[in-house]
Amino acid sequence: MPRAPAAGPSATAPWTRREAGTAGRSLPILVLPDAANVQREEDARELFYALPAAAQLARDRAGHPAFSLALVLSRRPAADEDDIFSLIDSAAFACDVSIALPDSVTRADTLLPLFASQATFRLVAGGAAGSAGPGPALAEATAQGAGARAGLGATVDKAAAQAILGALQRRESNLTLACRVTYRTA
């Protein structure tokens, strides 16, 4: 069945949270209805614009994360040391982040990727103990388009380097990857 033309994202409808992906790897997404859905014939499929609920590390074609981390240690580890965590002095990192949806999600003829007029990605460390709100951004980058992708990179101090390494090891971390998306509505 041919798809009715899209009008664009609704300016008045609320975002709705859904699960997409496969049974093995579920992906929370946010969807916004097309402004013309209310005018479609009863048998026509409704259209929705979608984004992942959170920005993701981008992956290469083999599925590996686009990420690099170089740690600077305060000294060479001794041969009998199992853990270098306490030796970390600083680090340099680079990664690609994205709001792209997997092909398996957008293959459905009712979901379209939302075109971002601007997507601003920020890696932020939490505020100091006892303070309200996040601390300064460790890295920030802007991109645009459907499936916007940007590169983040920075040289960071000991605390941030340990937080990045901890997050990679699925430990609790004070880091937040945030993305602010602006888009046009119908």
For residue 158, is it within any domain? yes
Which of 148 and 36 is assigned the larger pLDDT?
148
Count of domains in the chain? 1
For residue 3, is it within any domain? no
For residue 7, is it within any domain? no
List the one residue out of 94, 128, 109 whose CA is nearest residue 1.
109
For residue 86, is it within any domain? yes
d(CA 53, CA 56): 9
pLDDT above 90: residue 23: no
In one-letter notation, the amino acid at residue 152 is L
**Contact between 141 and 151 (Cβ < 8 Å):** yes
pLDDT tens per residue, range 79-93: 999 999 999 999 999
pLDDT tens per residue, range 118-173: 999 999 987 544 445 567 899 999 999 999 999 999 999 999 999 999 999 989 88
**Domain span including residue 113:** 16-182
For residue 1, is it within any domain? no
For the chain, percent of residues with pLDDT exceeding 90: 65
**Contact between 135 and 128 (Cβ < 8 Å):** yes
Half-sphere exposure of 82 (CA within 13 A, CB side): 0
